[in-house]
Amino acid sequence: MDIVILAVVIAVVVLGALGGLIVGSRRKKQLPPPPPAAPDITAPPAEPHVGDEAETPREEPRRTIEEVDLPDGSAPVVVEEPPAEAPEIEIPEPTAGRLVRLRTRLSRSQNALGKGLLTLLSREHLDEDTWEEIEDTLLTADVGVQPTQELVERLRERVKVLGTRTPEELRTLLREELITLVGRDMDRAVKTEPEDRKPGIVMVVGVNGTGKTTTTGKLARVLVADGQSVVLGAADTFRAAAADQLQTWGERVGAHTVRGPEAGDPASVAFDAVKEGKEMGANVVLIDTAGRLHTKTGLMDELGKVKRVVEKHAPVDEVLLVLDATTGQNGLVQARVFSEVVDITGIVLTKLDGTAKGGIVVAVQRELGVPVKLIGLGEGADDLAPFEPEAFVDALIGE
Ligand SMILES: Nc1nc2c(ncn2[C@@H]2O[C@H](COP(=O)(O)OP(=O)(O)O)[C@@H](O)[C@H]2O)c(=O)[nH]1
Ligand SMILES: [Mg+2]
C-alpha cells in the first residue's frame, strides 16, 4: 500500500515536471515578447518558469529607475542621456594680417617671379635681351600677355628716367608697378552683410577639385571669428561625402549645415539653407555647390537654377568663383564659362602655395573684370587670407 502511494506520488511529480517543461517551452514560443511598459512593481515577483531565460536578453533596453511607473500613477519620466560627446568648438584665428603670416607660402612664386625680376632689373646693361627675359619671366608666371606688355613698358620708361639704379630704388619701383598691375583700388571685401536684411547670401562655385568645399569651410571660420553666425548649405548633392565634408567644417566652429537627400535637387537644398538661415536669424548663409565640369551644359544650367531659386528669398550678395592657381590658363577658360552662367562677384584663388605662377592673380582679374578677394595658401583650416595687393607684392619680391 505504501509502495503504491509512493509510486503514484513519484509519477505525479515526474508528469508534473514534464508538463511544466512542455508548458514552459510553449509559453516561450507563443507569448509575444514582454511589452516595454513598466510593470506594476507592487505585484509580487513572478515565479520563474522552467525554460525561462536566466538573464534578460541583451537587446532588451534596460530601464532606469526614473522610467518605472511609480505606484502613485505618475507618468513615466524619461531621462534623456546627454550626447555621447559634444564636438569641441574651435576658435578660429583672426583674419587681420593673415597674408603676412602666410607670406612664406608664396615662396615658389617669390623665387620665380619677384626675385627673378629684381635680379634682371639689377643688371648693369638693360639691353633688349634682358627686357625680353623680363617679359618671359612674367609670362611664365601666368601674368598674361597684355598685362606683361603694359608692365614692361612702364618699367622701361621709369628705369630710363632713373638713370643710375640702386637696388633699393629698383625694388621700390618694381613694387609700385606690380601693385598698380594687381590693382590698388578694387573693392575686395566679401559681401556678407547687406544693409537691409539678414542673412547675407554667398554662393561658392567652380570646377571639381578646385577647393570649393574647403574654401567654404575656411570662410565660415573667418566669419565666425568676426563674430557672425553662419549657416552652411550643402548644395553639392551628387556625393554624400561632399555634404559630410562641409558639415565637418561647420561642426568645428558650431555652424549648422543644411543638407538634402543624396542626388536630390541642389536648388532646393540651397533654398532650404537660406530659409533656415532666416529662421535662425543667422548673419550669413554660405552655399557650397557641386563641381560642375564647364563642358557639361546641362549641369551648368542647373547652377543658374540654384541661383534663381535662392533669389526667391533675396538677391545673392556674393558669387565666389574658386579657381585652382596651379591650373594656369585652364583656370581662365573655366572663369569665362562660369561668368556666362552666373554673375561672378569675386574670385578665390586656391593653392597659391603650390605654384610658381602667382601672376595668375593679375590675369584672372583682367579676364573677368572682377577682383580676387581671397587666396588659399594651404590645406590648414586658417590658410585662407583676404587678398591685399601690397602684402601680396611684398611677399613676391621679398623683404
Ligand atoms: N595646398 C592647398 N590645397 C588646397 C587649398 N585649397 C584646397 N586645397 C585642397 O584641394 C583639394 C580639393 O578641395 P575641395 O574643397 O574638396 O574641392 P571641391 O571639389 O572644389 O569642393 C583638397 O585636398 C583640399 O585640401 C589650398 O589653398 N592649398
Ligand atoms: Mg566640394
Give the orientation angle of helix 167-182 with respect to helix 389-397, to 10 degrees. 140
Pocket lining: 293 vs ligand 1, CB cutoff 6 Å: no
Question: Could you tell me the pLDDT band of residue 112, with boundaries at 50, 70 and 90?
Answer: confident
Parse the chain into domains and list their residue ranges: 109-182, 200-397
Mutate to test the pocket of ligand 1, among 107, 379, 383 (most ligand atoms within 8 A of CB): 379
Residues 226-232, mean pLDDT to the nearest whole number: 95
Residue 343 has pLDDT above 80, yes or no: yes
Q: Give, using CA atoms, the residue closest to atom 25 of ligand 1.
A: 379
Q: Whose CA is nearest to atom 1 of ligand 1?
A: 378
Is the Cβ atom of 214 under 6 angstroms away from ligand 1? yes
Confidence of residue 398 (pLDDT cuts 50, 70, 90): confident
Q: Are strands 346-350 and 318-324 parallel, antiparallel or unpaired?
A: parallel
State the distance from the centre of ligand 2 to the C-alpha of 218, rounded, in angstroms.
13
Residue-wise pLDDT for 58-68, tens only, equals 444 444 544 44
Lowest mean pLDDT: which of 45-49, 84-88, 187-191?
A: 45-49
Interatomic CA distance for residues 244 and 165, integer angstroms? 57
pLDDT band at 38, cuts 50/70/90? very low
Q: Report the nearest-CA residue for atom 14 of ligand 1.
A: 211
Give me the mean pLDDT over the 142-163 stretch: 93
For residue 120, what pLDDT is reported?
A: 94
Give the mean model confidence (pLDDT) for residues 222-249: 93
CB-based contact 224:277 (threshold 8 Å): no
Higher pLDDT, 161 or 277: 277
Is the pLDDT at 276 greater than 70, yes or no?
yes
Q: Is the CB of 283 under 6 A from ligand 1?
A: no
Looking at residue 99, what is its pLDDT? 87
Ligand 1 centroid–CA 385 distance in Å is 14
Is the beta carbon of 217 within 6 A of some atom in ligand 1?
no
Question: What is the fold of 109-182?
Answer: Four Helix Bundle (Hemerythrin (Met), subunit A) (1.20.120)
- The pLDDT assigned to 93 comes to 78
315 or 208, which is more confident?
A: 315
pLDDT at 78: 54
pLDDT at 94: 77
The fold of the 200-397 domain, in CATH, is Rossmann fold (3.40.50)
Please list, in sequence order, all residues whose beta carbon lies within 8 angstroms of the beta carbon of residue 98, skipping any fewer than 6 positions away.
382, 384, 385, 386
Ligand 2 ion: Cβ-proximal residues, 5 Å cutoff: 212-213, 242
Give residue 251's pLDDT: 96
pLDDT attached to residue 62: 47
Where does the pLDDT of residue 32 fall: very low under 50, low under 70, confident under 90, or very high at 90 and above?
very low
Q: Is there an atom of ligand 1 within 6 Å of 16 CB?
A: no
Contacts 24+ apart (CB under 8 A), 29-37: 33/60, 36/61, 37/69
For the CA atoms of the chain, what is the radius of gyration? Answer: 35
Q: Is the pLDDT of residue 249 over 60?
A: yes
pLDDT over 90 (residue 368): yes
Question: Which residue, 372, 388, 394, is CA-closest to 215?
Answer: 372
- In the structure, what pLDDT confidence band is assigned to residue 90 with cuts at 50, 70 and 90? confident
Spacing, Cα 214 to ligand 1 middle (Å): 6
Task: For residue 223, give the C-alpha cell.
Answer: 566669419
Which residue, judged by its Cα, is nearest atom 6 of ligand 1? 211
Q: Establish whether residue 354 lines the binding site of ligand 1, counting it when its CB lies within 6 angstroms of any ligand atom.
A: yes
Lowest mean pLDDT among 117-126, 298-307, 374-383: 298-307
User: Residue 121: its pLDDT value, please?
Assistant: 92
Higher pLDDT, 162 or 304: 304
**CA torsion angle for 201, 295, 209, 322 (degrees, to 10)?**
-40
pLDDT of residue 370 exceeding 90, the answer is yes
Ligand 1: atom nearest CA of 350 is: 27
Q: What is the pLDDT of residue 79?
A: 54
User: What is the Å distance from ligand 1's center to 386 Cα?
Assistant: 17
pLDDT, position 295 = 59
Mean pLDDT computed over every residue of the chain: 82
Report d(CA 138, CA 281) in Å as an integer.
48
Question: What pLDDT is attached to residue 109?
Answer: 86
Q: In the chain, pLDDT over 90 holds for what percent of residues?
A: 57
| Burial class (CB within 10 angstroms; exposed 0-12, middle 13-18, buried 19+) of 150 | middle
CA of 107 relative to ligand 1 center, distance in Å: 19
pLDDT of 26 > 50? The answer is no
Q: Say if residue 206's pLDDT is above 70.
A: yes
Counting from 1 in the atom list of ligand 1, the atom nearest the Cα of 322 is 20
Per-residue pLDDT, 51: 42
Quickly state the pLDDT bin for 84 (edges 50, 70, 90).
low
Can you tell me the distance from the alpha carbon of 384 to that of 176, in angstroms, rounded to the nearest whole number?
25
